[in-house]
Chain A
Amino acid sequence: MGKDPQSSSRRTFYQRMIYGVSSLIAASLTVPAVGYLFPSRRKGNAGKGWTDAGDVSALPLNEPRELAFQRKRVDGWKTSTERATAWVVRTDRELIAFSPRCTHLGCGYHWETDNDRFVCPCHTSGFSITGEVLEGPAPRPLDRFETRTEGNRLWLGRVRTIPENGGQ
């Protein structure tokens, strides 16, 4: 094939066009597809709002309580109201609201009064009343909600992670 120079150069032209055009078509489909599958959320309002977690006036000192409340959740095309909880502790210094998920693999944990610690049933991580890791595989202290109080009511903002060593 392509013995004379003209047919050979035409063949090269065909091949280059074939490679070029098919790459162009593939790219014009792939680029939007990547944007589509990994969208940078337009004006995501996740975690922007504050949620009323309820009245905390009756909360005893140094006794963690799990508060249940309703919060708005935007999930894809659906906005729903769901039940959510937070472990809340009133210490003599501050009011802390922990995210109810273990920092290891996200299981729900609970307060054990006898052992004076939060215990995760999955891999037995233990946390102190202020959230520090006492034992087990948890990589960092319990995550905390941003909090503010209005009168007797506790409002929760977004969840903040406290790094293992940099925690204050």
Chain B
Amino acid sequence: MRDLIRRILDWVDHRTGFETAVKNFLYEDIPASSGWHQVFGSVALFLFFVQAFTGVLLAFNYAPQPGDAYHSLQYIVNQITGGRLIRGLHHWGSSLMVVVVGLHMIQVALWGAYKKPREATWILGVLLLLLVLAFGLTGYLLPWDNRAYWATVVTIQIAGLAPLFGEYLVEFLGGTEGVGVSTFTRFYTLHVLMLPALTVLVMMLHIHLVRKHGVTPSPRAIGKPKKKFYPGQAFKDLMAFFAVFILLFVLAATVDVPLERLADPSDSTYVPRPEWYFLFLFQMLKFFEGRWEVVGAVILPTLAVLALLAVPFLDRAKVKRIQQRTLAFAVVGVVLAGWLALTVAADLTTPEPVASARETSPGAADWRLLTPVELAGRAYFRREKCADCHNLAEGEPKMGPTLATVSQRKPTEWLMAHFGNPSEAVPGSPRPATTLSDEDLNGLAAFVLKLTPTNAAALEAVPPYAMRAAVIYQESQCGACHVVNGSGEESGPPLNGVGQRRTAEWLEEHFRDPQKFDPQSVMPPYDFPTGDMKAMVAYMQALPPELQ
């Protein structure tokens, strides 16, 4: 058996050279000084494979279109086995990639591993850093939630600031008409086709050069007998993969990646923030006003990249032991401190989301304080099965946005349009058109507008009798003569407190025959069926006494 396998392997190796190539790769000579500090490059490669793997998986269930993108991602996260985990791995993997690439660069910088003849390796490495950042920038738009949308609006604006070619850059990114389908498609294509291909190419060149020049030895290791990559260093690399992988897995499994509500270009209260590794750039923009803006947005970042590229040519001193590279430590330290200061400043100055201008009355946490119109809206909410897609308060995530947080920022006209033709107001919305009359829709809108994060849970728990009664109240147009909670005409007596003034029997009898109690009454008789009558009487009794 063993013999047969050997013969098959030999046959394959003879024709493809595969086994020899693998052996060459594994038994590469590395300097005696190699160790744990040289694992970061391999870890970055490992993370690249994780990103490619999870990215392809996401693409299997992802619709690359604005609107649909959001819904398909919701489907991935909420419906598909392991979908939340896979998205988490991809999301946190990108952050870890930035961290690992940063550590890799710092290690190379501290040890001076970019020195002759490894300048080209360093330059390709800087290119790879830029590619990683480009991945982050383009991938940020793909969930098509509010965060994605608004961050990309800012990105496109910044791209437009670039002197000479800003206009072309914006056109290339599909942002001429603002962030929309063109932008989305361009970003998607960059993210899943162009950047991966480019990255693989540059990565191969980078690795080729690493092998061509060999791993950088420390000065003391020169002349000492070399080690083999396998299994000692391979073991160290793999342990580093494992550590990073465990961290990644735990993050993906325990920290939910936010999927905010569907991108809403009309939302003026949204506070867009870039991903954490771009916060320093974001913060820098605050220091440059007016015509100087281009300095912070374009010129300084460009200079920084050029400086990075020039590092091997600026530092041409002889190779020294790491302990003697004080200047390198100082420079890396200053850069890191600057980066950290800007990032922390950006984080500290992030304002809380702007509270809605349309605050609801503080007492509205109780359904008894809703007007009949609003309460009927709650009934329509149930009847139209709005809860199939929307949560009132926070809860198990659903397809549509949670209404307590979204409704405060929408004008009535928008809501009405959304009820009537959802896909017009929100591109890609799967909600079927409603059959409610305009009047009923008004009630629904009135109710939705009443929702706040604090009262949503209370308003979700409206008892069925109250909803039933409110609909009857609306249909019977009681509000044409009566006031409830400040809403309605005053020609008849106000109904707040009527439950304290009258008994249930009186109320029921009065509905059936008002003139029996007051011959002058102009109220028509309402001979409701038993169930309706019970609901109406209970509703009347539940109404709070006169409002102050």
Contacts and interface: CB of A to CB of B under 8 A. Distances in A.
B53 A29 contact: yes
Contacts of A80: 430
A77 B238 contact: no
Interface residues of B, number: 34
A21 B238 contact: yes
B82 A33 contact: yes
Given A37-B57, A77-B430, A14 B231 contact: yes
B140 to A, nearest CB: 21
Interface stretch (B35-43, B72-80, B413-421, B535-543): B72-80
A79 B430 contact: yes
A76 B249 CA distance: 26
A37 B68 CA distance: 19
B288 interface: no
Closest 3 pairs (CB-CB, A-B): A77-B75, A32-B82, A14-B231
Contacts of A166: none
A21 B430 contact: no
B107 to A, nearest CB: 22
Interface in A123-166: none
Contact of A25 (B79, B234, B245): B245
B71 interface: yes
Contacts of B85: 32
A35 B84 CA distance: 12
B81 interface: yes
Nearest to B62: A77
B125 interface: no
B62 to A, nearest CB: 9
Interface of B: 50, 53-54, 57, 60-61, 63, 68, 71-72, 74-75, 79-83, 85-86, 89, 228, 231-232, 234-235, 238-239, 241-242, 245, 249, 399, 430, 432
A18 B235 contact: yes
A164 to B, nearest CB: 35
B454 to A, nearest CB: 31
B80 A36 contact: yes
A36 B231 contact: no
Contacts of B50: 29
A40 B239 contact: no
Contacts of B53: 29, 33
Given A24-B242, A41-B79, A77-B71, 14 more contacts: A14-B234, A15-B231, A25-B245, A29-B54, A35-B81, A36-B60, A36-B83, A36-B86, A37-B57, A39-B81, A76-B61, A77-B68, A77-B74, A81-B432
A42 B396 CA distance: 14
A46 interface: no
A166 to B, nearest CB: 34
Contacts of B75: 76-77
A11 B230 CA distance: 9
A17 interface: yes
A115 interface: no
B239 A17 contact: yes
Interface string A1-41: 10000000001001101100110110011001101110111
A77 B72 contact: yes
A83 interface: no
A41 B86 CA distance: 17
A46 to B, nearest CB: 13
A40 B231 contact: no
